């Protein structure tokens, strides 16, 4: 009696085993066939392609969808900046030695940008504590002509890429009390709103969403807290007029274009703070 039960149990088990396996296999076969073969072949005529191309698109081996023609493109590249944030560039910046950078800064930069990059002149930006990526990008852009300044352009053109990285590392490593980004930005009501909350009605993101340290914005976003107000205002006006165009994909041109002149002045003063 038990053996009979045992046999029946085994048969019942095997039936379940086979049925389950077959059902799952069937479902899988149906899904794969319809998704990777039948649908693309049915859709191919609308795209004007043959069945094989349609299947390749449905599998992901070529771009496009099986149901629509791919649009052509003929355009000429006209980049506004040649800087590429590749692993190689980032690693170069990460390992650059600040000591030759310090020597270069002393010899070349300090006459305008001040001792250790802390000028008090309105004509030149402060550099102490600036993000190395930001400095590297601007120097590279001066070097390639993406940005022009009668004094900076020849300076940058005489430096090698490694030297640009070293100078950037040097200034980026200066963290004295009066370096950029060290003090809190104290803002009045409507400036605070722009800086911390942006303006949804004008689709303006908060300044801090890119310019705060660790905000997670573009790598080249400069630290602006503590920067001299006249310099900031000049740059914002230059972006607004389109005279400065090395901001990739118009990020600052778009933003500056939405700010009023009064806002530009007051924002710049707020960011300079009490220096």
Partner 1 sequence: MTGVREEDVVRSELRWGLVTIAAVSVIMIAIIFAGVAMHINPPSNIERVNPQDLHLSAEFTEANLGTRVEANGQITSRIVATQFAFVPRCVVLPADTPVTMRFSSPDVIHGILVSGTNVNTMVVPGYVAQVHTVFRKTGDLLMPCHEFCGLGHSEMLATVRVVPKADFKPGPDGRVACANQ
Partner 2 sequence: MPTNRRLIISHFAVAFAAFLAACALGVWQMWVRSPLSGPQDIPERYYQSVTAHGVSMAFVLTTFFIMGFGYYVAETALKRPLPGRNWARAAFGIGVAGVLMAVVSIASGKASVLYTFYPPLTATVWFYVGLVLVVAASWIWCVLMLVAMGSFKKANPGVPVPLAMYGTVANAVMWLWTTVGVSAEIVFQIIPAVMGWTQTIDVGLSRTLFSWTLHAIVYFWLIPAYIAFYTMAPRAAGGRLYSETMGRLTFVLFLLYSLPVGMHHLFMDPEHSTGFKFVQMSLTALVSVPTLLTVFTISASMELAGRLRGGKGLFGWIRALPWERPMVLATGLAFFMLWFGGGGGLINMSYGMNAMIHNTSWVTAHFHLIFGGTVVIMYFAIIYEIWPSLTHRQFRSVPLQRLQLWLWAIGMMVMTIPWHVLGLQGQWRRVASFDYSDPRIAAWGPWVVVSLVGGIVLLVSAVLFVWNLIPRRYSPALEPKPGYAFALAAHPPHRVPGVLNGFVLWNILVAVLMAAAYGFPILQFFLGDSPQAVIHPVTGG
Select from partner 2, partner 1, none the partner in contact with residue 213, using the beta carbon and a kind-dependent cut-off of 5 to 8 Å: partner 2
210 touches which of partner 1, partner 2, none (CB within 5 to 8 A by kind)? Answer: partner 1
Residue 219 CB, nearest approach to partner 1 (Å): 9
Least Å distance between CB 181 and partner 1?
A: 16
Give residues in contact with partner 1 (CB under 8 A). 34, 39, 42-43, 46, 60-69, 71-82, 84-86, 198-200, 203-206, 208-210, 212, 215-218, 248-251, 254-255
Q: Which does 71 bind (CB under 5 to 8 A by kind): partner 1, partner 2, none?
A: partner 1
**Least distance to partner 2, CB of residue 110, Å:** 28
Q: Which does 74 bind (CB under 5 to 8 A by kind): partner 2, partner 1, none?
A: partner 1
- How distant, in Å, are the alpha carbons of 134, 209, 231, 237 from that of 93? 11, 23, 26, 30
**Shortest Cβ distance from residue 110 to partner 1 (Å)?**
33
Report the C-alpha gap between 220 and 85 in whole angstroms: 9
| Binding site partner of 46, from partner 1, partner 2, none, Cβ cut-off 5-8 A by kind | partner 1
Q: Kindly state the tokens that stand for 20.
A: 């389950």
Nearer CB in complex with partner 1: 42/112? 42
Residue 252 near residue 241, CB atoms below 8 Å: no
Check: CB of residue 118 under 8 Å from CB of residue 180.
no
Q: List residues near partner 2 by CB under 8 A.
A: 9, 12-13, 15-17, 20-21, 24-25, 27-28, 30-32, 34-36, 39-40, 55, 57-61, 65-66, 85, 87, 90-91, 94, 196-198, 200-201, 203, 206, 208-209, 212-217, 219
Measured from the CB atom, is 140 or 228 closer to partner 1? 140
Q: Which does 36 bind (CB under 5 to 8 A by kind): partner 2, partner 1, none?
A: partner 2
């Amino acid at each position: 009696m038990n053996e009979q039960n045992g046999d029946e149990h085994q048969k019942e088990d095997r039936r379940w085993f086979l049925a389950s396996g077959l059902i799952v296999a069937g479902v899988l076969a149906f899904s794969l066939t319809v998704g990777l073969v039948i649908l693309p072949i049915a859709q191919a005529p609308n795209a004007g392609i043959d069945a094989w191309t349609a299947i390749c698109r449905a599998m992901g081996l070529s771009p496009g969808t099986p149901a629509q023609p791919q649009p052509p493109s003929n355009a000429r590249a006209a980049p506004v900046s040649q800087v590429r944030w590749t692993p190689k560039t980032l690693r170069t910046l990460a390992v650059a030695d600040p000591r030759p950078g310090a020597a270069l800064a002393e010899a070349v930069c300090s006459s305008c940008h001040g001792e250790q990059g802390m000028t008090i002149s309105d004509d030149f930006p402060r550099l102490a504590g600036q993000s190395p990526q930001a400095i590297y990008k601007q120097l590279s852009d001066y070097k390639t002509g993406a940005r022009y300044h009668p004094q900076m352009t020849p300076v940058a053109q005489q430096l090698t890429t490694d030297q640009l990285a070293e100078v950037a590392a040097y200034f980026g490593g200066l963290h004295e009390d009066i370096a950029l980004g060290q003090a809190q930005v104290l803002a009045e009501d409507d400036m605070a709103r722009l800086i911390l909350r942006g303006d949804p009605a004008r689709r303006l993101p908060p300044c801090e969403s890119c310019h705060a340290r660790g905000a997670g914005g573009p790598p080249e976003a400069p630290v602006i807290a503590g920067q001299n107000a006249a310099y900031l205002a000049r740059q914002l006006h230059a972006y607004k007029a389109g005279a400065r165009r090395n901001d990739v994909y118009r990020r600052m041109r778009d933003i500056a274009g939405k700010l009023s002149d009064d806002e530009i002045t007051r924002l710049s003063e707020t960011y300079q703070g009490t220096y």
